[in-house]
Amino acid sequence: MNRMLLITLLLVLTASLLLNVHLWQRFSNSPQSNPRSNPYSNPHSNKNALNQILAAQNGDTSSPNVSRSEGAYKRSGSNSIDGARNIDAINRDGASIKGMRSLSELNALLHSGDMAALAASLSRQLKISPLSEPLLLLEAELIRQTKPLPTALLNYYDLADLPLSNTALVEIKKKIQTLYQQAQQQLSTSHQWELVAKLNEPLFQRVPDNKTFTVNLATAYAHQLKVTLMEDVLAALPFNDPDAQVIRDIASKQQIAATEPDSDTTDAPQRQDSFFEDDNAVRVKLERIGNSYHINAVALNQRAFMILDTGASTTAISSNLYARLGKMRNLSFIGIFNVQTASGSVEAPLVRIPEFRFAGYTFNDVSAIVLPEEALPDADGLLGMNILGEFDFSILPQEDILLLNLRERK
């Protein structure tokens, strides 16, 4: 009897325990009792979860769980073209990532001349999007306006090696061709052979199989009578190459011309005004200031008080005169070059002045280096040999007179 009662009791307890377990499971799985499993208990929970998943996949920097820089970097990747295009789309739309500027803002910095701010912004944004084509092209333009032209051209060549779109590559190659041809033509026409060499030396090293760079560099050396360097460059061509022989002939003529007073120069300037002439010589009054002679000239419509500098291969103008001439509107910017001045080596812009008048003659498309004011404290520029070289000249110190004879053309 007692045994039967004990068994019955155990069965009742077991049934009660199973019932409690069943009820607890049903309650714990109930939507009302578990807000995490109930999509209606928090109407924003699923949306937030979905946004976070999409943010993780797309690098959406608006997600609170994904940092802006991390999201942008995931979108671009270290070498992702698709990522770069995503950043481009953001910039084109004008929607800036925190701390970043849109393309329109970056271009505004370029046009305003705030190169330091532009360089800083481009540096940050290219770290996020290293293959962003608009950013790379904008950086290339910044380099063109602030660094020596050979450096800018080498940068374009580096860009041409990147996996960019065909449209960007075509634009880059066009830039290389335009910038190079413009500078090469201006410098060679004005017989700036030292600058021609500086333009072509790094390009010859970068693209040694480019015959244009080879020929132009060797030609510059030939005009400077740097025969050994000329032959080193011409070694890249077959010995019987007709262009190589022409360059060797130039060197030979230069050696002969070095012993003769009359040598080939650029096209004859046009004579306009009347100056006093004596035995076909033009006499120009000089003004002595300290140890220098100064002379009057006219650049476009601006009078210029110039230092007569027979040691300068290139005419120079001050930054003040450059500003008076209207900067880019009236002058053609050729590029920045490393030039030697009395104060040492400086990086200076080379510009083309459409019209320059001196001693009653008019010179067209004159090359001029723009120097800072501190380099020319008492003058508007230096009158260099790219103009003086048109004449046989001498200075009469007792009278402070410059005597000029226009060289004959052969």
Collapse the DSSP code of 248 into the 3-class scheme (helix H, G, I; strand E, B; otherwise coil) and give the result.
Answer: helix
Q: 399 and 279 in one domain? A: yes
Return the residue matching tokens 């271009």. 107
**Beta pairing partners, 287:** 294
Collapse the DSSP code of 19 into the 3-class scheme (helix H, G, I; strand E, B; otherwise coil) and give the result.
Answer: helix
The verdict on residue 301 lying in a domain is yes
Q: 162 and 138 in one domain? A: no
Supply the pLDDT for residue 334. 93
Q: 384 and 275 in one domain? A: yes
Instruction: Give the model confidence (pLDDT) of 33-64 as tens digits.
Output: 444 344 333 433 443 443 443 344 333 433 33
Q: Look up residue 310 and give its two tokens.
A: 């027979």
For 246, phi and psi rounded to 5 degrees? -60, -40
Q: 400 and 305 in one domain? A: yes
Supply the pLDDT for residue 140. 96
Q: 368 and 286 in one domain? A: yes
Q: Look up residue 197 and give its two tokens.
A: 């060499």
| Terminal-to-terminal C-alpha distance of the chain | 145
Q: 357 and 299 in one domain? A: yes
The verdict on residue 300 lying in a domain is yes
The verdict on residue 34 lying in a domain is no
The verdict on residue 251 lying in a domain is yes
C-alpha–C-alpha distance, residues 109 and 118, integer Å:
6
Domain boundary (128, 146, 164) is at: 146
The verdict on residue 304 lying in a domain is yes
Domain boundary (97, 120, 146) is at: 146
CA angle 346, 350, 355 (to 5 degrees): 140
The verdict on residue 208 lying in a domain is yes
Q: Provide the residue range defining the domain that includes 142.
A: 59-146
Overall residue count recorded for the chain in this entry: 410
CATH code of residue 205: 1.25.40.10
The verdict on residue 86 lying in a domain is yes
pLDDT along the chain (410 residues), means of 10: 68 68 57 41 39 39 35 35 45 54 93 93 93 95 95 96 95 96 93 93 95 96 93 91 93 79 47 51 88 90 90 88 77 88 80 91 91 86 90 88 79
Q: 191 and 181 in one domain? A: yes
How many domains, in total, are found in the chain?
3
Domain boundary (260, 294, 324) is at: 260
C-alpha–C-alpha distance, residues 328 and 238, integer Å:
43
Instruction: Give the model confidence (pLDDT) of 313-366 as tens digits.
Output: 889 999 999 988 876 567 889 999 988 766 677 889 999 999 999 888 999 999
